Amino acid sequence: MIIAIDGPAASGKGTLAKRLAAHYGLPHLDTGLLYRAVAKRLLDAGLPLDARDHAVAAATTLDVATLDEDALRGRPMGEAASIVAAFPDVRAALLAQQRSFAAQPAGAVLDGRDIGTVICPDAPVKLFVTASAEERARRRTLELVGRGEPADEAAILADIRRRDARDSGRATAPLLPAPDAVILDTTGLTIEEAFQAALQLVESRIAAYNSL
């Protein structure tokens, strides 16, 4: 079973993806890490983020199995990732690895921006997780504080709005719910409530899929 989860920054998609993967015993891929890793390679080499050919080369040689989540998680890398993610050739270079991760025998949970629309358009279960920009900024601020990183909530809200606009406005694989995705707004929900709601949606999708 493939579970495709998309949504904007700090909507809680990664948290839900991890919990659903644990619940169903499926492998999980946070696809945002791939774009973050491409951006980090450019920055580490002292290259600008618009160095398209270098970004494509980095994407082509990236190995999903060796991503260092801790080094990629911080705030600047999210912004940087959304710049390299707008290059269609970078996205194309990352496509096969994501599809092969999804094609594991038992299935997989993938989260990102284009899983339900581009990477796994045939996934039987698609969730589009969202929350208000203010709530997402509040969550990301708490997360950064918890990691000991500097966190100014107003600046984080501005980041989130800028990244939403860039991710939704790009020509290739924009952030968008697939037509057959179920939308889950987690604004007023705790993590546990959001998980229970997601679980119900997944179970009802599985039941509908099995009755076909």
Ligand X SMILES: Nc1ccn([C@@H]2O[C@H](COP(=O)(O)OP(=O)(O)O)[C@@H](O)[C@H]2O)c(=O)n1
Ligand Y SMILES: Nc1ncnc2c1ncn2[C@@H]1O[C@H](COP(=O)(O)OP(=O)(O)O)[C@@H](O)[C@H]1O
Distance from the Cα of residue 180 to its chain's centroid: 18
Return the residue of 107, 112, 116, 124 that touches ligand X, per CB under 6 A.
Answer: 112
Contact criterion met (CB below 8 Å) for 112 and 119: yes
| Residue 135 makes contact with ligand X by CB under 6 A | no
Nearer to ligand Y, 13 or 41 (CB): 13
Return the residue of 4, 10, 83, 156 that touches ligand Y, per CB under 6 A.
Answer: 10
Q: How far is the CB of 55 from ligand X (least distance, A)?
A: 12
Residue span binding ligand X (CB under 6 A) among the ranges 6-14, 43-51, 58-66, 186-194: 6-14
| Residue 37 makes contact with ligand X by CB under 6 A | no
Residues 34, 23: Cα–Cα separation, whole Å: 24
Question: What are the structure tokens assigned to 24, written together?
Answer: 């169903």
Q: How far is the CB of 10 from ligand X (least distance, A)?
A: 5
Question: What are the structure tokens assigned to 67, written together?
Answer: 């991503």
Q: Is 8 annotated as a binding residue?
A: yes
Distance from the Cα of residue 76 to its chain's centroid: 16
The string of DSSP codes covering 122-163 is T-SEEEEEE--HHHHHHHHHHHHHHTT----HHHHHHHHHHH
Q: Is 9 annotated as a binding residue?
A: yes
Binding mask 18-57 for ligand Y (x = CB under 6 A): ----------------------------------------
List Cα–Cα distances, 168 to 50, 99, 135, 175, in angstroms: 19, 22, 19, 5
| Residue 82 makes contact with ligand Y by CB under 6 A | no
Question: What are the structure tokens assigned to 140, written together?
Answer: 């990301």
**Which residues does the annotation place in the binding site?**
7-15
The residues of the shown chain that bind ligand X, judged by CB under 6 A, are 9-10, 14, 31-32, 35-36, 78, 81-82, 85, 112-114, 163, 167
**Which residues does the annotation place in the binding site for ATP?**
7-15
